[in-house]
Amino acid sequence: MAPVLDYFIVSASLKGTNQVGNFLIPRSSKGIFIEETWDSIALRGTGSHDLILKNVSVPEEFFVEQIGNEGKKPSGWLLHIPACYLGIAKAAKKYAIKFALEYSPNSVEGTIIDLPNVRQKIGEIELKLMESEYFLHSAAKQWDDSDEESRGKMGPILGAVKLNVTNNAIAVVDLAMRLVGARSLSLKNPLQRYYRDVRAGLHNPPMDDMTIQVLANQAIKDIQDF
pTM equals 0.86
CATH architecture of 76-224: Up-down Bundle (1.20)
Q: How many CA atoms lie within 13 A of 183 on its CB side?
A: 11
| CATH 2.40.110.10 domain span(s) along the chain | 2-67
Confirm or reject CATH 2.60.40.1170 for domain 2-67, answering yes or no: no
**pLDDT, tens digit, 9 for 90 and up, residues 111-147:** 999 999 999 999 999 999 999 999 999 999 999 999 9
User: In sequence order, what are the residues at sequence separation of 6 or more whose Cβ sits closer than 8 angstroms to the Cβ of residue 184?
Assistant: 176, 177, 191, 192, 195
**pLDDT, tens digit, 9 for 90 and up, residues 14-51:** 888 888 889 999 999 999 999 999 988 888 888 899 99
